[in-house]
């Protein structure tokens, strides 16, 4: 479904991505692990069209995304759920969700999709008219994921969903990600919480200084000493 081939990205003189090649097959969960500054968020930005790589190729279902706008990629089901949630604090839960379906304003199916989101996140239904600013960190993350679902993703790019969230809620969110995936959405998951990411993903890549340092089936890669030492606490 998604294929990156030798992608390089510079921010001015900073060489953030140094030849990234990776794949996300249809319907799979793939995780992208690595330390701070390794280039994980930049990889997602290149895929969703927020950053244009200087070289290399990003292909979606065999077609290059070069020159395509973020809006065009959203239409094709590529939805980016950014790091730090970025919910609209003064909008209610409902308004935030509707923003995620901005391409379909007024359509009846928007309400149906909202019910689907509430099926995954009943807490959001209970707080429908509450301003996003007043939600807990975990609930805001649920809202950010819910807003992404309103865009009907075929490929969900998810940046650090566990960041700053209580462990119990992290478990809950990861269980829901599995359900979202089972319902047909492929997920590229950026995480610092390697334990959780490896547990739910089929395949994992580890980024080191803008390069893929390690990759493999998640079950297999979790046994490798270098990963255990660096990311799984020995
Ligand atoms: P984190 O886990 O801390 O979010 P990351 O793995 O997602 O890190 P990126 O945010 O992709 O890493 O950053 C990769 C490199 O690019 C870093 O050295 C970072 O300082 C640099 N970088 C990212 N965004 C910009 C920018 N807008 N301008 C200049 N440099 C940037």
Ligand 1 neighbourhood includes 204 CB (under 6 angstroms): no
Query: Would residue 3 count as lying in a domain?
Result: no
Domain at 188, CATH number = 3.40.50.300
Residue 62 to residue 76: CA distance in whole angstroms = 13
Query: Would residue 1 count as lying in a domain?
Result: no
Query: Would residue 151 count as lying in a domain?
Result: yes
Ligand 1 neighbourhood includes 11 CB (under 6 angstroms): yes
Query: Would residue 104 count as lying in a domain?
Result: yes
Query: Would residue 157 count as lying in a domain?
Result: yes
Average pLDDT per 10 consecutive residues for the chain, totaling 234 residues: 97 95 97 93 95 95 89 91 89 95 82 94 95 93 95 95 86 93 96 90 95 94 78 60
Ligand 1 neighbourhood includes 84 CB (under 6 angstroms): no
Query: Would residue 16 count as lying in a domain?
Result: no
**CB neighbour list of residue 177: distance below 8 Å, 6 or more residues apart:** 29, 145, 158, 161, 187, 189, 200
Three-state secondary-structure class, residue 212: strand
pTM: 0.93
Number of folded domains that form the chain:
1
Nearest-CA residue for ligand 1 atom 2 is 36
Q: How far is ligand 1, taken at its centre, from the CA of residue 117, in Å?
A: 31
Whether the CA torsion 105, 185, 53, 61 is positive or negative: it is negative
Query: Would residue 15 count as lying in a domain?
Result: no
Nearest-CA residue for ligand 1 atom 17 is 37
Query: Would residue 41 count as lying in a domain?
Result: yes
Structure tokens at 219: 């079950």
Domain enclosing residue 102, as ranges: 25-51+69-231
């Amino acid at each position: 479904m998604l294929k990156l081939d030798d992608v390089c990205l510079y921010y001015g003189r900073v060489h953030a991505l140094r030849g990234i090649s990776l794949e996300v097959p249809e319907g799979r969960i793939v995780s992208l692990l690595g330390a701070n500054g390794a280039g994980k968020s930049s990889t997602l930005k290149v895929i969703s069209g927020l950053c244009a790589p200087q070289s290399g190729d990003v292909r979606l279902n065999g077609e290059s995304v070069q020159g395509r706008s973020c809006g065009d990629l959203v239409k094709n089901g590529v939805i980016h759920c950014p790091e730090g949630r970025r919910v609209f604090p003064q909008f209610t839960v409902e308004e935030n969700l509707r923003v995620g379906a901005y391409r379909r304003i007024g359509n009846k199916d928007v309400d149906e999709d909202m019910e689907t989101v509430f099926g995954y996140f009943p807490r959001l239904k209970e707080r429908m008219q509450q301003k996003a600013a007043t939600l807990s960190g975990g609930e805001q993350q649920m809202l950010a994921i819910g807003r992404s679902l309103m865009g009907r993703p075929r490929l969900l790019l998810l940046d650090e969903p566990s960041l700053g969230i209580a462990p119990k809620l992290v478990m809950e969110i990861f269980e829901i990600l599995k359900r979202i995936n089972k319902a047909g959405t492929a997920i590229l998951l950026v995480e610092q919480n390697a334990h959780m990411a490896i547990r739910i993903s089929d395949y994992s890549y580890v980024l080191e200084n803008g390069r893929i340092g390690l990759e493999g089936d998640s079950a297999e890669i979790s046994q490798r000493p270098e990963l255990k030492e660096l990311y799984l606490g020995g």
